[in-house]
Amino acid sequence: MPRPTAAARAPATAVPLDPAIRRSLGVGNATGLGLGPFIANHPALFGRWIAARETALGRVRAVSAATPATAEKFRDALDSARTMAASWRVDDARQTERIAGLESDLRALSETVAGGALDKSAPWDALYRWAEDNLSLEGQELLVSLLIEPHGALVDDLADEMAVDEAALFRIDAAQSVGETIAAVEELFDWALSIDFGAPASQARFWYVSEEKLEPRLGERASEPGGDLEQPLTVARDIAALYPALKDADPDETLADFLLGRPEQRRAVRRVQIAKRYPYSEIHDNLLGAEMVPLDLLRCKLSFFGATRFDPKSDRWLRINMYQYAPYPNELAGCRRDDWVYPLQRDLVSA
């Protein structure tokens, strides 16, 4: 194992960090807008991730009774989540308000569990339904993680279904009719069709790649140059343009004939066909809108990486923590737990 920097520089006087404190630090990182375009540019992959999570939740909610082991693990994770939420500090006013709401949610959840919620029939489903009516979105999302955590044997196989061959999805099924495509748009993209893209606020922003660092950036269309270099993160607008073009065509016409005369619609048609196959593939939001919060896109992706303690520094970049309370390499041989994301109370070090 490599020697710590302090010990290497001053072996006689260096003081080693207490292992428990060292383990509580985790690995800090900062990330910006680059993660947002990734989600939009990989719809099938994103759809696989969300589908795995929703399938896991569905399996857990279908469990008829909580075993003593799963109930104990859930309670331990809930206690740890409360401790970690209480020590979660950020400067961002919006997230501070969310954290306060989360702490209140977790208190209410603990009281519900203490009242015998896990002793009832189908307890996990009942808890989820209760959360829909009683908890904030932040609390509901954390509850989903807590519900899945004790059920590794039931859901771990889903990790093998989170990859996808995106190249195989590039080919458009041109034998599909215009009428079938219209039906798919109306079923899967009603949220996009409801947006008025004639309003300036609906196209207030544009995504581009910076010349200096070749990284994604977000521009203000009314006040900044570069709109002519806009990246193709315009899914909702593209679908809104595709729909009237489809409605003007013969519904019995094949997509082959339709796209022969309207090749600019190929990308939008491809998104429709991907969404038909992967129903969780699209972000149901206008990525160009004035009210869109880029930070929410970043949080969504980072949550799949195990990031915690989200610390927004603006609406476009944030700091996170990863691997907090994870065992170090020299501890792996004796480590028998894989639930360090929700450490037991005795493992926690107050922040």
Distance CA 51, CA 137 (A): 19
More confident residue, 348 or 206: 206
Domain ranges of the chain: 166-277
In this structure, are residues 326 and 25 in contact, taking their beta carbons and an 8 Å threshold? no
Q: What percent of the chain has pLDDT over 90?
A: 68
Whether 242 has a pLDDT exceeding 60, the answer reads yes
How confident is the model over 152-205, as pLDDT tens digits?
Answer: 999 999 999 999 999 999 999 999 999 999 999 999 999 999 999 999 999 999
pLDDT value for 351: 43
**Which segment of 79-83, 173-177, 236-240 scores lowest on mean pLDDT?**
79-83
How confident is the model over 217-229, as pLDDT tens digits?
Answer: 899 999 998 888 8
Whether 107 has a pLDDT exceeding 70, the answer reads yes
pLDDT band at 68 (very low <50, low <70, confident <90, very high): very high
**Which segment of 76-90, 144-158, 253-267 scores lowest on mean pLDDT?**
76-90
Torsion, Cα 103 105 107 111, to 10 degrees, reads: -170
Q: Are strands 205-209 and 216-220 parallel, antiparallel or unpaired?
A: antiparallel
Q: Is 213 exposed, middle or buried (0-12, 13-18, 19+ CB in 10 A)?
A: exposed
Tell me the sheet residues that pair with 31: 318
How confident is the model over 9-31, as pLDDT tens digits?
Answer: 888 898 888 887 888 888 888 88
Q: Which residues contact 333 (CB under 8 A, 6 or more apart)?
A: none
Element housing 111 (H / E): helix 93-114
The reported pTM is 0.88
Of 186, 227, 178, give the one whose Cα is nearest residue 207: 227
pLDDT value for 333: 77
Average pLDDT over residues 56-76: 96
pLDDT value for 35: 80
pLDDT value for 21: 82
Distance CA 219, CA 1 (A): 47
Q: What is the mean pLDDT of the chain?
A: 91
pLDDT value for 345: 56
Whether 349 has a pLDDT exceeding 70, the answer reads no
pLDDT band at 340 (very low <50, low <70, confident <90, very high): confident
How confident is the model over 281-338, as pLDDT tens digits?
Answer: 999 999 999 999 898 888 898 998 888 889 999 888 899 998 888 888 877 777 766 6
More confident residue, 3 or 314: 314
Residue 332 CA, chain-centre distance (Å), reads 29
Average pLDDT over residues 254-277: 97
In this structure, are residues 253 and 175 in contact, taking their beta carbons and an 8 Å threshold? no
257, amino acid identity: D
pLDDT value for 330: 79
Q: Is 253 helix (H, G, I), strand (E, B) or coil?
A: coil
